[in-house]
Structure 1
Amino acid sequence: MRLTVIGTGYVGAVHAACMAETGHEVLGVDTDAERIAQLAAGRPPFYEPGLGAMLQRTVDSGRLRFSTSLPEAAAFADTHFLCVGTPQRPDSGAADLRHVEAVVQELTPYLRDGRSLLVGKSTVPVGTSDRLAPRLRGAADLAWNPEFLREGCAVQDTLRPERIVAGVRTPRAEARLRKIYAPLTAAGAPFIVTDPATAELVKLASNSFLATKISFINAMAEICDATGADVLTLARAMGADSRVGPRFLSPGLGFGGSCLPKDIRAFTARAEELGLAESVAFLRQVDEINTRQRRRTVGLAERLAGGTLADRSVAVLGAAFKPHSDDVRDSPALAVAEEARRRGAQVRVHDPEALDNARAAHPGLQFVLDVVKACEQADVVLHLTEWPQYRDLDPAALAAVVRTPAIVDARHTLDPAVWRAAGWTLCAPGRPRLG
């Protein structure tokens, strides 16, 4: 089938390449001419494992092309996936739908009357599809098909999804989406059909639940710090209960990125618009607990640095909000680095993939390409993004270059026994006995 993907940011670029990989002819469309040129050359504009090779392969095959023209998109295909961003509005926690609304307004005059299907993948507040559908003036059907991508695993999540949710109004829309996703459902992917409102809601509800689980175990880490209990043992014991499960029950610095923080705030704002603020009031606490972990990590750093970070040298391991990504949006690691700098520390930051993006977003910090050089003469090292490269560091070799062998493991992926045997003092949130 022929498909267009409108918006070639993170979601759109991955979706376009993966749909072409499954055999469809795909045209990716974006207003950013520089991005389009880069994608057309087979080069992804961001780091995502597996995407580069797939992009080059599908471009070379001719199944994937790119354009800046919406009229060309309308002429190319009858099915259009809407993958533009919905960032948080600067004046509130609500989602900014300007890009979604602009595409609907600009594309509609070019659509083939009654034959087109516009499929939303952007994360939007519940009720958005119902509000937008009349604006299509009968030129197209409107369905919602939310994405459930994890940065660092996006290609796998697209080609081997845990579920495909299709929020449709008509049997024709359902049939077309089933045909598009047939290669994935044939491999076992569940295909869940629902109305558009439920499809919109499932993305925000899922992310809100995951955020709640992370903040819950971080709240327990605070209790562990106060009582001498060990949060990792607590999490393991809780996760052994099949009703709870171990996934996302991972204490540490908390979540960041472009999805969970934005989505729980947008969900809260939409509930308030519906007069249901009390139903999701707990999400404000989830957000506050998450933000508090950043301050607590800085507090651990001060403790290891002798009570103050003023005039101290701090090495930060990690800039991306999560490993296997170069995304620094709402990065907890960079928030901690900036707070350490504000408290008077000289901060050097290392990351395997995200330094260019981090440098652009935080020009006041110092960025170092070599992890050992980042740690030279450091009074305290902060392990803030759980890249496997950091787990594999030699603590004895690193101890030889720092001023003081003291480290905060805010991600709980370092082996305390190994590091302490190499002469390090290691602190981790929720594990007071390690300090």
Structure 2
Amino acid sequence: MGSRIAVFGTGYLGATHAACMAELGHEVIGVDVDESKLAKLAAGEAPFFEPGLDEVLQANIDAGRLNFTSSYAEAAEFADIHFIGVATPQRRGEFAADVNFVDSVVATLAPLLTRPSVIFGKSTVPVGTAARLGAMARELSSLGDAVEVAWNPEFLREGFAVKDTLHPDRIVLGVDVMTPGRAEEAAREVYADILAEGVPFLVTDRETAELVKTAANAFLATKISFINAMAEVCEAAGADVSELADAIGYDARIGRRFLNAGIGFGGGCLPKDIRAFMARAGELGANQALTFLREVDSINMRRRTRMMEMTREVAGGSLIGARVAVLGAAFKPDSDDIRDSPALNIAGQIQLQGASVTVYDPKAIENSRTLFPTLGYAADVREACDGADITLVLTEWEEFRRLEPAYLDSIVRQRRIIDGRNCLDQAKWRGAGWEYRGVGRR
């Protein structure tokens, strides 16, 4: 017999979590204030692109295990276990995270609870948020200590979110160590099938659990910026960063993953999370501990400007009147997410330098057009590259990795390609008579 679960927020994190909890056999209700999003989900369609998610949604709606509502009262009546999966964006004009949406869920839900309940936070929040929300929930609920707030951070990779939810590499749970209740027991019930596979289950205090997610993202961001800093040195020295990454990646202490030089990281997590981490450390009086993250952020942002400069160099010193094809708009492949996308940022910078820019992406065109309406958009690779003086590959979709020079030879005006993700076979493109430039490559 499964648990009865409510998931608040049906964006990327919430919709995936709700569908996957139903897939595990629980009865789930997804809650959101956005009626159009709810209508789409109720029809078995995610409001964003994520491989495999639509099938899981549809199967569990059909099985009667997954429903959606805008009513907090309905959710409070239905479930004993509540997950918070709302957004924590960067605050306007500052580095800190905006936790208003998270606060609002607890403030609205707690007074409606009529029986002992556990609220699990999944959103990425500044350390100390869970303890504050726990106190808020006890104060606002007539149940007092029978309402618990615990933290259970998510570690989803866009493009692999369903797999990462159903087969995670670890489950982390932060509980109130001063007044432990039934949060651990509830989590073990919810994740019973996953734990039966032998997945590590780490139970800690709430502060450590909040920091696990933030620290993981800070480490990954640091690793990406490190290899991009090495790319800058390689370019200056005439070395090859891809071969360098292969060589140091064999060291088990370092590892090859996330050591891909290119145009840097983007998306809705890494950039905002490292900035929020710096801001929170400052509030705690530990700001010196994270000053290195400023350099991580600055190396990352510098990659975008460098790519625009490289395009200008290839164009002969000026982009005015140049026709530039940009392949890729999403911040990573297998996603339609363009939040803080380096690809779109670069396309915009190139356009501001006087170039005519046409963008193609397999999934992110609609989102891109909404955010960057002044860029040109194409329905496929050939349309984007038609008459191009320079072709840029800025998101490493499989479709772009597999491109053959001959496919574009008769379409482009000039055979010049810049590989912003080092995902193409440079020997093949050069051998076919193209001018090829990579990032930190010989």
Q: Separation in 1 of the partners of 2:45 and 2:253?
A: 43
Do the aligned residues in 1 keep the contact of 2:127 with 2:211 (CA within 8 Å)? Answer: yes
Does 1:157 pair with 2:159?
A: no
Q: Separation in 1 of the partners of 2:258 and 2:161?
A: 17
Residue deviations 1:313-337 (CA, integer Å, cap 9, x gap): 0000000000000000000000000
Give the structure 2 partner of residue 293 of structure 1.
303
Residue deviations 1:144-177 (CA, integer Å, cap 9, x gap): 0000000000001001100000111225110110
Give the structure 1 partner of residue 19 of structure 2.
17
Give the structure 1 partner of residue 6 of structure 2.
4
Structure 1 residue 91, shift from structure 2 partner: 2.0
The residue correspondences of 1:81-160 to structure 2 (distance < 5 A) are: 81-113=83-115, 115-137=116-138, 138=144, 140-160=147-167
Residue deviations 1:188-237 (CA, integer Å, cap 9, x gap): 21111011110000000000000000000000000000000110111111
Letter aligned with residue 132 of structure 1: L
Structure 1 residue 112, shift from structure 2 partner: 2.2
Q: Separation in 2 of the partners of 1:95 and 1:343?
A: 33
Structure 1 residue ranges (4+ consecutive) displaced by more than 2 angstroms after TM superposition: none
Q: Separation in 1 of the partners of 2:430 and 2:410?
A: 14
Per the normalisation by structure 2, the TM-score is 0.97
- Identify the match of residue 361 of structure 1 among 356, 360, 371: 371
Do the aligned residues in 1 keep the contact of 2:83 with 2:119 (CA within 8 Å)? Answer: yes
Q: Which runs of 5+ in 1 are unaligned?
A: none
Do the aligned residues in 1 keep the contact of 2:7 with 2:17 (CA within 8 Å)? Answer: yes
Letter aligned with residue 30 of structure 2: G
Give the structure 2 partner of residue 352 of structure 1.
362
Aligned positions, number: 431
Residue deviations 1:79-138 (CA, integer Å, cap 9, x gap): 10001100000121100011011111111111124x111100010000001111111122
Does 1:219 pair with 2:221?
A: no
The residue correspondences of 1:163-312 to structure 2 (distance < 5 A) are: 163-169=170-176, 170-312=180-322
Do the aligned residues in 2 keep the contact of 1:78 with 1:112 (CA within 8 Å)? Answer: no
Q: Separation in 2 of the partners of 1:419 and 1:326?
A: 28
Residue deviations 1:18-71 (CA, integer Å, cap 9, x gap): 000010000000000110011011011000000011111011110000000000
Q: Which runs of 5+ in 2 are unaligned?
A: 139-143
Per the normalisation by structure 1, the TM-score is 0.98
Q: Separation in 1 of the partners of 2:198 and 2:381?
A: 42
Do the aligned residues in 1 keep the contact of 2:148 with 2:181 (CA within 8 Å)? Answer: no
Q: Separation in 2 of the partners of 1:150 and 1:410?
A: 21
Does 1:74 pair with 2:71?
A: no
Identity %: 58
RMSD: 0.8
Q: Separation in 1 of the partners of 2:197 and 2:67?
A: 26
Structure 1 residue 395, shift from structure 2 partner: 0.8
Q: Separation in 2 of the partners of 1:102 and 1:242?
A: 44
Q: Separation in 2 of the partners of 1:397 and 1:41?
A: 39
